[in-house]
Structure formats: C-alpha cells, structure tokens
Structure 1
Amino acid sequence: MNLLDAFDSAVRKTPAKAFLRDRGASISYADMQRRSQRAAAVLQAQGVGRGDTVALMCLNTPGFVEALFGAWRLGAALVPVNHKLQAPELQYILDHAQCKALVFDAALAPVVAAAPHPCARLVTEAQEAVTGVQDWDTLVAAARPMEGTRPADGDIAQVLYTSGTTGRPKGCLLSHRAVTLAAITAALGLSITREERTLMAMPIWHSSPLNNWFGGTLYMGGTVVLLREYHPQHFLQAVQDEGVTLYFGAPVSYFAPLQMLPDFARYDLSSVRAWVYGGGPIGAEMAHKLATAYRSDRFYQVYGMTETGPTGTTLYPEEQVERAGSIGRVALPGVDMRVVRDDGEDAGPGDTGEIWLRTGSVMDGYLHDAQATAAAFAPGGWYRTGDLARLDDAGYLFIVDRTKDMVITGGENVYSKEVEDALSAHPQVADVAVVGRPHAEWGETVVAHVVTRGEAAPQAEALQQFLADRLARYKIPREFVFAASLPRTPTGKLQKFLLRQERSAT
C-alpha cells in the first residue's frame, strides 16, 4: 500500500470526516478525493503522464494537496520546491528534474516569471489573474474527475531537493514505498492515531512536515490543520481554535512566540499531546524554559535526513532535560543505526563516529548523479549521513561536527559551497569561507569570512544586497568577517575548523 491507496482507503472508511482544516473550513476525505481526481484531469490536460515530474511551489494550502494526489493518480512524481528560493534556484530545479508542469502560489508570481522554463504553469490562491498563466483553482473546480492509474510501490513518488556540497542541489529520489514507510515510522514513533489533529505550520514542502507528519496523519486517518504560513500569533491561535494535538516545527518556531507575544500565557495550548521539534537540538536551559512556558512536558526531538525519508532517532519527553543536546539513543521503529569510527568499527561510550542509517524509507539515489549516490552508501545498504556524533556513557548521541559542509539555521539546510560560489561572483571578493556560528534560537547562523580585493572594499550590506536575487534569504550570511587572509594548509586546503573555533569563542 502507498499513501494514495491509504488515502482512498480512508475515504471509504470515513468519507465525511475532516481531512483538512483550512482557514476555519473543513475539507472532508471524500471532498479531497473528488478534488484530487479533478486535479489529475487538469494535469493530464497539460501533458502530464506516468513518469513525468510536477513541481509544486506553494504555501500550506489545499492546492498543494490537490496537486500532490493529482500527480500521483497519473503516475507522476512530485517535486516540492522551497517557496523561499529565487529565480535562478527555481530554474535549476525545473531544468534538472525536467518538470512538465509547475503549480505555484500567486504570491510567488514574480519569482516564477523570472525563471524562463518551458513547463506548463498554473497558479493557485490568485485573487486576480496572473498574466499568461492558467488559474489552477478554477480549472480544478470545473474539471471532470478521473480515476487515473494506481502507482506501483517502487515508482518514484517524490524528487526532494537538498543542497549539495558542489553548490548545486541534489534531487533525492523517494519511491512510494519509501514515502509510505516514512509516514508509518512517524506514526509508530509518535503514536499517531485517527483522532490526531496535526498542525501544519512549517512549510509542507519540507521533507519532514510532508512525509512524517502530513503523511503519518493521513495514514492513520486523522485531520491536518493547514496554516498558510507560520506566524507566532497565528500559530498559537490555530492551536487553541483548532484543538491541535500534534505540532512539528523548528526550535525557533517555539521561541518566537515567547519573544514577540507579551500575552503568550493567555492562549490555551492544553489540547497538544506532542510538541515535536527538529533541525537541531536545544540545551537544558531552553528545554526547561519551553516546558514552563508551554505548560507541558511532552516535547520530542526528531533527527533524520531527507535521504532517509526522513527517519532516524527521537529524544523522548522524559529525556529532554537530563540528555539535553542529544538526538536520542536508539533509532525509530524500522530503522537500524550504527555510529562508525574512522577505522570502520562501531563506536562505544566516549567515542566519536559517523552516523549510518539503514531503513526501507531510504532514497533510491540522487537524480542524474550516480557518483554521489555511490558515495552516499556503505556496503550493506547503510546510508552515510555525514554527521559525526559522540556517544556518552549511556549511549546517547551528541552531534559534534559534519563531514558535509552544511549550516542548519532555523531548520533550513544551507550548504557553504553554494553561498561561497555566489559570493565569489562579486568582483571585489578575492576569497571566501562560509561557516555556521551557534545561535541559541536558530541553531546556527550563517557567517561569511571574506577577503576582498581592491582599495574600496564592499560593506556587509552591499554583499547582502548582491546576494538578494541570487539566493534564498535564509542562505544569505547574517554576519560578515573581513580578513586579510583565510587559514589554509600548505597545500591550500581551507581550515574551516579554525574559523568555527574562532566564531564559537566570540
């Protein structure tokens, strides 16, 4: 069974039950099934068929869900696109995935217009016409439903893009089997039930919100509450008004309301049985602060990789304070884990090694990149995460470094090479190194160490402006450090660990 089968099964079981809650209104399982069948007809009219790819650059709206199921009913794969990307980044994904169609939110029309790709374009959530683009919502409402064809479990369901160390994103190929297992794993690990009311306030195109929490809730026949876009007040209001029982978000999504809303305590958050966070651990002090403010001890931290579904480990509520900073001790159900030292042996207490994961929800590989696919796996089907972890005396894992050059800020992955390449295009930048600096709320913040050329060195603001239409905003460095040179080995290899140590000490 895949998630499309699971959805159609839920329609037969509870057709009138609310599948989605959107802006105070319910969309039942049966209603979404009809919408998705009409969405399939709309996509088919655009030339989409089995084996094609459909890009979705949306916010958390029904249009995303309609297009998701519509594409799957045709045997096409979904390409969720980060709505924060700029036109060159979008263009690369559309080209690389050879997308046949793009469904996008009207708020993103200027970015889409600047990406000249020949795919069919359809706009959702439009209050007025977008020149030269067909209206998705109008077409779906008028289309005749079609059954489509049932995808095979081994067919590709999603191409999820994650930034690569070469500076270009890599497309993770996830089969229907993998996506379904990622949903089942989350449902088992967090005890999701048919009574769940899961708040989708983080972007639904992200792998964990999409496959773990949307997918897990769908699989169990629960209800998903859509919040178009995260805002601290709207987040708390939705929890209170919708009787939310489960929420997943980056740590900063929990901290922001505490800072921005002086009347935080007036919101009734008692319906929530599971507060889930990912994208970076939090310390003991912050764990105490969150438990006190949210009046709950039901916090879970999840760790995983897009390449594994994502699935990985969980730090459970009773471990939050005593093992603060850890990602957990054991892998989730259906996931096997090793921590492997440089000599190939399993790490023991006090040792540091790379986290390896083996699971049925792992990707088939990277799109058009056999070399990167081969490098990602060790013999025996183990996926090499690139994360280095230290084991404490009880076997809990603490991330200490990454073999992949990546910064995680606010739950978003930023690969240093991509930012370095963009900065290097500035005529007054002679050398650059991008690293992460620890940040109490965002996990890390992006820092650029820059060596300039010429007498009139550019200011930080000028460099940020230079990057504004080249990179998504979250990738743009918040701090710039100007130096005469960068630390390198005698052979010229950049010593980023020295820069990280320098930034951590300040």
Structure 2
Amino acid sequence: MKPNGIFTTPALIARGAARYGARMAIESEALSLSYAQLDAARIEAARALMACGIEPGDRVAIWAPNVAEWIVAALAIQSAGAALVPVNTRMKGLEAGAILADSGARILFCCGEFLGEQYPSMLAPHRPASLERVIVFDGDVEHGCESWQTFLQRAGQTPLDAVHAREAQVSPDSLMDVMFTSGTTGRPKGVMTTHGQNLRGVHDWAQIATLREGDRYLIVNPFFHAFGYKAGWLAALASGATVLPHAVFDPQAVLERVVRERISVLPGPPTLYYALLDAPNLAGRDLASLRVAVTGAAAIAPSLIERMRAELGFETVLTGYGLTETCGFATLCRHGDDAQTVAQTSGRAMPGVEMRIAGVDGAALAPNETGEVWVRGYNVMRGYLDDPAATSNAIDPQGWLHTGDIGSLDEGGNLRVTDRIKDMFIVGGFNCYPAEIERLFAAHEAVAQIAVIGVPDARLGEVGHAWVVLRAGAQADGEALAQWARRNMANYKVPRRIEIVPALPTSAAGKVLKYRLREAFAEGAGA
C-alpha cells in the first residue's frame, strides 16, 4: 500500500501470498485458506468471471452473510477489473432487486438460505432483466441459479495469462466498489470509490488501530458494511492477520470463539460489548488474547470503555467516524487516549483528511462551536452512481463533502457528533432513513400518506415510529401494516409502532411537519 506502492486489491493479495505464504488468511468451519491459497482462489474465481464475459468497469454484486466465499468472490470481482456491489443481508427481495437494477449488476453471488430466508426465492419476483446470472454459495440451486462449484468450473475457459493481464490493468483510479446508502430523498444512492483511496484508508486505519501480523480478527460486523469489509477483512489481510468470519452475533457464541480461537481483534458496535459484559460466567473465561476493540455508531458511556479494558482485557479501545461517502474512514481515536476522549468523541482526523465544522456561510467555526461536519481529502467518494446532481449537492467546488451531521471539534481536533441534519436514525447500529421507509410503504395499497421519525428506545437506541393516513375506503390497522413491512423490508426498518391517523400535520405547501410529530411523541400524544 502507501509505503510499498500497493494501491489495488489484486496487488495486495499477491503481495500477501509472497510475504505470508502458508500463514492462515481466513479460518472458518466451511472453508479455510492460507494467504497463498487465497491468492490462488481469487485468481480462479476471476478467471471464471472473465469466462462469464465480465469486463473492466462492470458491476458484480454479493448478497450473503459473513462467509469465506464472500471474500474470495469480492477479490475476484476486483481482480477482473469489475466493481463490487455489496447488498445488505437484511434486505428483502424487493429492496435487493432495486439495488441490483440501479447498479446494473450483471452477476450476483448470494447465499442459499440465511436466518430462515431463501435468498434466490426472495429475489425471483424482483430480479431485474440486467442481472444475467445468480451464483449460490451454498444450498439448493433453483430459480435459474447455478452453484459456486459449477461457476468455478468455468475458470478453465480463461487462460491464466489473460487474468494476469486483466489484473495488471487495474489501477489506483479504477472503480473498486459501489456501496449503496440511502439519502434523504429516500432512494438508495450508489457511492463510487476507487482502489487507491480505499487502500490508503485501509493502511492508515490498520496502522492507527495497531493491527499486526499474527492477529486473529473475529469479524462480527457484516461484510456488506464498510466496518466489516474495509475496516474488517481488508484491513486484516493488509496486515498479515487471520480473518475469522462470524455470521450471526450471539454473545455466548462470540465468547466461546474468543476463548477457543484466541481472538485478539474484536471490533463492533457498543451493543456487542454490553452483551459480552452481561454474559454469564464471564469472570471464568480466559480472555487474555483480546487486544484491540474499535467501536462507534452510538452514544457510549466512559464507564463502558473502562469496563472493556478492565473486564474484557482490551489494551486498545478506539472509536471513530466515517461515512460510506468517505470509504468508511475519516477520524479515529489513538492508542493511549483516555476513556473520556474515546467515549465522548470520535477522535482526530486520519492522515490526509481534513475536518471542518462549518457555519451557515461555510466558514470554519472555532473549537467547541457547533455546525455541520465537512470532510475533505483523498477518502471522499468519486460521486454517486448515475446521479451528478446528488454528487454536486454533496461535494462543493472546493472538494468538501457536506455530511449532514452536526458536531464540533475540540482544541485537540477531536470530533464530537451531536446531531444529524438528515432525518436518519440508528436502530441497533443500522442506519434508517425515514424517506426510504416511507417510499417502501407507498407500495401498500391501503396507504395514502405516511410519516416516519426515530424515537428513543432503551434497547436499540432508536426505533421508528410511523403515522399513517389510509386511502379512502381502505381498511388496515397498525399490526397488519407492520406484518406487511416485515415481509417487504429489512427488520430494522420496520417501525416499532404504527398509528392510523385521519391526517398528518402539513405546511401551507403540503410538506409534512415532522417537528410537530416529534413534539406530539414527546408530549405523550402517541406514546
């Protein structure tokens, strides 16, 4: 990477094979690979992709939980010069189909079944015409899909020299991925980032987080998210660490893996550490291997940081801030920061990244003054896929990304995010965008109008609360609408309470006045 001139993922993995060889890159029950085997596996899968006609610049999607094949497929996609499109495993067929259509993905890798859902079956009614193939990692092959094993057999159709020539064409400026994130318009937008900017961020993040050769990194954060992907397996592989994928978070199972598999690196949201601290028989566990924790995405008490160090044994506990639009990286605490700094700020700007707290005129505000958080640097996205208007709205002519978050910088440059301009709220670590939820509900035949806000929740931090106006003559209650939502959208997006009301408060221009709904909730008028 930066010190070694490695600015593409195929070059990174080739270097890993040469440097670490027989050291384990990925360990899992179903598939374990050394660094040399991982290099061979991604080349084989890249050859198969080329045999399927994948060209540089094409998009290929992955919709699956944390498994070793996810990593192999992702690296193969990037080695073939295509861009990876990760799809959220919580999404239902309607949502995933929209992402696949908007991205123009030609091929989808997916799991057969996860958490009781049959992914090919869910997608079948919503599969876009642009999607040529669906390749299933595991389980029964149906709905016009093919198995991972059948796919790999195509590798022989592509000469080895051809794939090496293709990966040599991948440059630091080549598109590495298109990660979809919802905006206030309610339609998910594809964030485009390149190999060079991502690998620079990965290198610096791993260095600050003190990742090192021989670390054993249990990745609970989902691979479809930058936390599990870029600050996850990619950072691990850049450091000579071993990746241990973990598909579903269960505190007891995580504890058992930490002890049994000598885990040293365990990032995750605050809820992960609270769950571990509350697990029975914690005191009797040998957690001496634990070394590094990185958290964020929610308010944290300094006491949690202190307990993580004292009771879980972490030497390094960090918090950070980043967006999909910044490759997932922007600020990070540093080893040695006190519990107050780690808990109440998101740390300082990473090397090569500028932070500004902007006033209404865009001028930089003084320390501890509150304004909009702006970010500028190598890490800022190349833009939103097929959406130049949204891109120009997000990034100004001076290169500053306007995040929509409200915060302040202290005298030491530590960022404190205090609020959000956008309506987004966070449910158990997952970002929820009211406009997107409202747009999905618009497909329901009984819904005339809907407004969604985030409200406090003791367990999840925030949850959705919806007010619905029914169409004339339609019949539905809150529970029936919630059941429909659970069938058509990710569970964390489903409002925890849905109220049927005769009308929504609106302005003279017809815009829903959500502040009135927040006031009503706060006063208990819908609690």
Common topology (TM > 0.5): yes
Match of 2:4? none
Q: Given the superposition, is the C-alpha separation of residues 49 and 393 from structure 1 closer, same or farther in structure 2, using an over 3 Å criterion?
A: closer
Match of 1:116? 127
Secondary structure of the residue aligned to 1:140 is: helix
1:83-122 CA-partner distances (Å, limit 9, x unpaired): 1111111111111111111111111222232332342334
Corresponding residue to 1:246 among 265, 274, 281: 265
1:89 aligns with 2:95: yes
1:408 aligns with 2:419: no
Match of 2:498? 480
Query: Where does 1:288-327 land on structure 2 (aligned, <5 Å)?
Result: 288=306, 290-291=308-309, 293-296=311-314, 298-316=316-334, 321-323=339-341, 326-327=344-345
Q: Given the superposition, is the C-alpha separation of residues 451 and 26 from structure 1 closer, same or farther in structure 2, using an over 3 Å criterion?
A: same
Match of 1:217? 236
Please tell me whether the aligned partners of residues 189 and 333 of structure 1 are also in contact (alpha carbons under 8 angstroms).
Answer: no
Q: 1:116 is matched by which residue type in structure 2? A: R
Query: Where does 1:37-436 land on structure 2 (aligned, <5 Å)?
Result: 37-107=43-113, 108-118=119-129, 119-130=131-142, 132-140=144-152, 143-144=155-156, 146=160, 147-148=163-164, 149=166, 150=168, 151-258=170-277, 261-288=279-306, 290-291=308-309, 293-296=311-314, 298-316=316-334, 321-323=339-341, 326-391=344-409, 396-436=414-454
Secondary structure of the residue aligned to 1:282 is: coil
Q: Distance in 1 between matches of 2:518 and 2:305?
A: 25
Please tell me whether the aligned partners of residues 371 and 406 of structure 2 are also in contact (alpha carbons under 8 angstroms).
Answer: yes
TM-score by length of 1: 0.91
Q: Distance in 1 between matches of 2:29 and 2:469?
A: 49
Match of 1:21? 27
Q: Distance in 2 between matches of 1:205 and 1:79?
A: 9
Q: 1:168 is matched by which residue type in structure 2? A: R
Aligned-pair CA distance for 1:453: 5.5
Q: Given the superposition, is the C-alpha separation of residues 192 and 288 from structure 1 closer, same or farther in structure 2, using an over 3 Å criterion?
A: closer
Which stretch of the first structure deviates more once superposed, 18-27 or 165-174?
18-27
TM-score by length of 2: 0.88
1:413-449 CA-partner distances (Å, limit 9, x unpaired): 2111011122344344443221112334433222213
Please tell me whether the aligned partners of residues 319 and 347 of structure 2 are also in contact (alpha carbons under 8 angstroms).
Answer: no
Aligned-pair CA distance for 1:28: 0.3
Q: Distance in 2 between matches of 1:113 and 1:196?
A: 41
Please tell me whether the aligned partners of residues 438 and 445 of structure 1 are also in contact (alpha carbons under 8 angstroms).
Answer: yes
**In angstroms, what is the RMSD of aligned CA positions?**
2.6
The percent identity for this pair of structures is: 31
Please tell me whether the aligned partners of residues 232 and 256 of structure 1 are also in contact (alpha carbons under 8 angstroms).
Answer: yes
Match of 1:499? 517
Structure 1, unpaired ranges of 5+: none
Please tell me whether the aligned partners of residues 287 and 320 of structure 1 are also in contact (alpha carbons under 8 angstroms).
Answer: no
Q: 2:204 is matched by which residue type in structure 1? A: T
Structure 2, unpaired ranges of 5+: 1-6, 114-118
Match of 1:6? 12
Q: Distance in 1 between matches of 2:194 and 2:411?
A: 38
Q: Given the superposition, is the C-alpha separation of residues 143 and 272 from structure 1 closer, same or farther in structure 2, using an over 3 Å criterion?
A: same
1:336-387 CA-partner distances (Å, limit 9, x unpaired): 1111011222222442111111121221100000000001112321111110
Secondary structure of the residue aligned to 2:456 is: strand
